């Protein structure tokens, strides 16, 4: 039996719209946020949950964290139905909504933590132990007595994460935790998530638009689009499937050299050189190289595979999202 | 319960941080206290009224001193509801009504104490005919204090209902503008309720708004005799219980129909 079992989950929203510009009348429109999503997650997995804006990722997180009731389908997490046994269930989970704040703006973050301790009724000893562990891992030591409003975004996000983990949740739902963070903060946050996942076997569902997050942390990803699950499996397989083109930038030693390539290779002028995009499966790299060499003396040349954001963009395009 | 106490303490402490705002409030309320006192003195010199002038001026000062208890709302909490930050509170093992009640009470309690204590001292030191009078008797003072506690409980219950409605409409401004108007008139803040026509007073003093400050002040000045005190306190307690019950019900319903919008 899997730890998180989701079967055929669906959710509809009503959005009110103005009928047309200047009209005072409104009309209702139904938006199907989730149309029958199913998946299973084992305990201790760290899973990436991706998809374009509006795909239904946050809705899933809200349903699984017991805030929202679905219109149809079932979900059992650790033996409990989130929206039915809300009070006992929510003790076992931690949630981070990257775009919202749970800590108090005008008080030192330590005071917000004490409030969370009382909300979850964490015994003092356990709280102190956990707090010092998290303070160490998230390097919060120097800012514990600083009000939230005086912290940078990166510090704030680390503090928010600490707040969500004080009660030792078995499951952590992260909704865009790295939004707006600089490179150093992102790396620190990723290290921490990996550590928390390994050390405490915390099951983590990570929603993000940052593909670097996913490739650094998750071996398994689920792709959501238009409220349906489109892919579920290894990240590497997904990438291999869409990572089919290579780009070559080339400059020749003298003017007037133009390589002769078949129409399947897209060639465009790039400064005083060329950029060629090709698929190794339809035009072997060796053939391309000899074609390039025949055109003249090569001064410099680089070969690149696509970056992960482009891949995902291509994938979304192909899936018609 | 532990969570409610904890948020109460935290909000109390937070309120003490806003000392500049408290000072500004004191200056503003003293200004209004003086203006209104001058106004009623002029009115009484022109045409003496049935109610003693000293009572009216005491009424004015006490209303000004506890102004913060009536008209203030927790901006952070409103923002949380409006922007969806409340999502965090919803995925916690919390009795939402009690949690917010404790939070609102802490804010109103500390907010009004910070202002009322210096203001009452100031108003008591003013020369006769301008300042606040002494309580009718020691028992009257105690009865007034008890009534003030009930008044505070009652106003917090009212505020929590406003919050519950804000969760529906997502914008507190409309309902707040309307409720604030009712509040300033019917609580006696704009014009002491004791100066309303007697037939009106019979009605108005039964409303919840009159339970907040009007009832305690009347006990203080002796407008309500001590013998009436049990009846007054009972009415206050009745309203408080009814409003708390209504608020609980609204929050329960809110939680059921809740939809959180946006990423």
Each residue of B167-192: pLDDT tens digit? 877 777 777 888 889 999 999 988 99
Question: Tokens for A109?
Answer: 């973050």
Q: Which residue has the higher pLDDT, A1 or A93?
A: A93
Q: Is A53 on the interface with B (CB under 8 A)?
A: yes
Each residue of B110-145: pLDDT tens digit? 999 999 999 999 999 998 889 898 999 999 999 999
Each residue of A236-290: pLDDT tens digit? 888 888 777 888 999 998 888 888 888 888 888 888 889 998 888 888 889 999 9
Q: Do A111 and B10 touch (CB under 8 A)?
A: yes
- Write down the pLDDT at residue A1: 60
Question: Is pLDDT of A293 > 50?
Answer: yes
Question: Is pLDDT of A224 > 50?
Answer: yes
Question: Is pLDDT of B197 > 50?
Answer: yes
Each residue of A22-50: pLDDT tens digit? 667 777 788 888 999 999 999 999 999 98
Question: Which residues touch A289 (CB under 8 Å, ≥6 apart)?
Answer: none
Q: How confident is the model at residue B218 (pLDDT cuts 50, 70, 90)?
A: very high
Q: Smallest Cβ distance to A100: which of B3, B88, B92?
A: B88
Q: Which residue has the higher pLDDT, B208 or B48?
A: B208
Is the separation of the CB atoms in B148 and B108 below 8 Å?
A: no
Q: Is B76 on the interface with A (CB under 8 A)?
A: yes
B11-31: average pLDDT:
90
Q: Which residues of B touch A119 (CB under 8 A)?
A: 3, 6, 92-94
Question: Is pLDDT of B36 > 70?
Answer: yes
- Write down the pLDDT at residue B75: 81
- Complex prediction ipTM: 0.86
Each residue of A303-321: pLDDT tens digit? 887 777 777 777 788 777 6
pTM of the model: 0.85
Q: Do A67 and B85 touch (CB under 8 A)?
A: no
Question: Which residues touch A224 (CB under 8 Å, ≥6 apart)?
Answer: A37, A49, A50, A51, A55, A56, A57, A60, A230
Q: Is A318 on the interface with B (CB under 8 A)?
A: no
- Write down the pLDDT at residue A63: 92
DSSP code string of B140-197 = HHHHHHHHHHHHHHHHHHHHHHHHHHHHHHS--HHHHHHHHHHHHHHTTSSS-GGGS-
Q: Do B258 and A104 touch (CB under 8 A)?
A: no
- B63 to chain A nearest CA, in Å? 29
Angle B214-221/B53-65 helices, nearest 10 degrees?
Answer: 140
Question: Is pLDDT of A214 > 60?
Answer: yes
Q: Do A66 and B91 touch (CB under 8 A)?
A: yes
Q: How confident is the model at residue B262 (pLDDT cuts 50, 70, 90)?
A: very low
Q: Do A106 and B17 touch (CB under 8 A)?
A: yes
A49-77: average pLDDT:
89
- Helix (H) / strand (E) element for B67: namely helix B67-70
Question: Is pLDDT of A20 > 80?
Answer: no
- Write down the pLDDT at residue A21: 67
Q: Is A179 on the interface with B (CB under 8 A)?
A: no
Q: What stretches of chain A show up as alpha helix (H) in DSSP?
A: 57-64, 86-90, 109-119, 124-137, 153-165, 183-200, 211-217, 235-242, 285-294, 308-318
Q: Is B83 on the interface with A (CB under 8 A)?
A: yes
Q: Which residues of B touch A97 (CB under 8 A)?
A: 87-88
């Amino acid at each position: 039996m899997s730890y998180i079992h989701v079967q055929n989950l669906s959710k509809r929203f009503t959005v009110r719209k103005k009928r047309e510009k200047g009209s005072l009348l409104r009309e209702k429109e139904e938006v199907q946020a989730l149309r029958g999503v199913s998946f299973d997650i084992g305990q201790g997995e760290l899973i990436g949950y991706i998809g374009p804006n509006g795909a239904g990722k946050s809705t899933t997180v809200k349903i699984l964290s017991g805030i929202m009731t679905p219109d149809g389908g079932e979900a059992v997490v650790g033996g409990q139905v989130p929206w039915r046994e809300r009070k006992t269930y929510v003790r076992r989970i931690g949630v981070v909504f990257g775009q919202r704040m749970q800590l108090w703006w005008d008080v030192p973050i330590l005071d917000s933590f004490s409030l969370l301790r009382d909300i979850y009724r964490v015994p003092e000893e356990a709280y102190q132990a956990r707090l010092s562990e998290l303070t160490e891992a998230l390097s919060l030591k120097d800012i514990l007595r600083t009000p939230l409003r005086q912290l940078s975004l990166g510090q704030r996000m680390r503090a928010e994460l600490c707040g969500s983990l004080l009660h030792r949740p078995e499951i952590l739902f992260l909704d865009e935790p790295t939004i707006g963070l600089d490179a150093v903060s992102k790396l620190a946050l990723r290290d921490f998530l990996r550590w928390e996942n390994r050390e405490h076997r915390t099951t983590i569902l990570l929603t993000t638009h940052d593909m670097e997050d996913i490739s650094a942390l998750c071996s398994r990803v689920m792709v959501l689009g238009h409220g349906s699950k489109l892919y579920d499996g290894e990240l590497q397989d997904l990438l291999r499937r869409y990572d089919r083109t290579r780009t070559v930038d080339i400059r020749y030693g003298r003017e007037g050299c133009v390589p002769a390539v078949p129409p399947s290779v897209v060639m465009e002028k790039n400064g005083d050189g060329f950029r060629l995009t090709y698929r190794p499966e339809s035009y072997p790299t060796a053939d391309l190289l000899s074609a390039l060499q025949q055109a003249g003396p090569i001064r410099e040349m680089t070969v690149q595979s696509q970056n992960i954001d482009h891949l995902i963009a291509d994938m979304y395009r192909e899936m018609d999202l | 319960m532990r969570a409610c106490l904890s948020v109460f303490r935290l909000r109390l402490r937070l309120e003490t941080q806003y000392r500049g705002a408290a000072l500004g409030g004191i200056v503003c309320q003293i200004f209004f206290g003086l203006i209104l006192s001058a106004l009623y003195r002029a009115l009484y010199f022109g045409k003496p009224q049935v109610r003693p002038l000293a009572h009216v001026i005491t009424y004015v000062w006490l209303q000004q001193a506890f102004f913060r208890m009536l008209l203030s709302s927790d901006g952070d909490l409103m923002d949380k509801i409006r922007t969806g930050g409340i999502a965090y509170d919803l995925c916690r093992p919390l009795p939402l009504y009690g949690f917010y009640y404790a939070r609102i009470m802490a804010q109103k309690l500390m907010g009004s104490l910070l202002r009322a204590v210096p203001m009452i001292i100031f108003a008591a030191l003013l020369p006769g005919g301008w300042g606040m009078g002494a309580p009718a008797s020691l028992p009257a003072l105690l009865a007034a204090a008890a009534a003030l506690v009930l008044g505070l409980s009652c106003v917090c219950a009212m505020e929590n209902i406003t919050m519950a409605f804000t969760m529906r409409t997502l914008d507190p401004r409309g309902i707040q503008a309307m409720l604030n108007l009712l509040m300033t008139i019917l609580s006696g803040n704009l014009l002491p309720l004791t100066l309303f026509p007697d037939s009106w007073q019979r009605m108005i003093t039964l409303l919840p708004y009159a339970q907040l400050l009007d009832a305690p002040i009347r006990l203080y000045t002796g407008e309500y005799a001590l013998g009436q005190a049990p009846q007054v306190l009972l009415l206050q307690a009745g309203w408080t219980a009814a409003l708390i019950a209504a608020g609980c019900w609204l929050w329960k319903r809110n939680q059921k129909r809740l939809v959180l919008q946006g990423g």
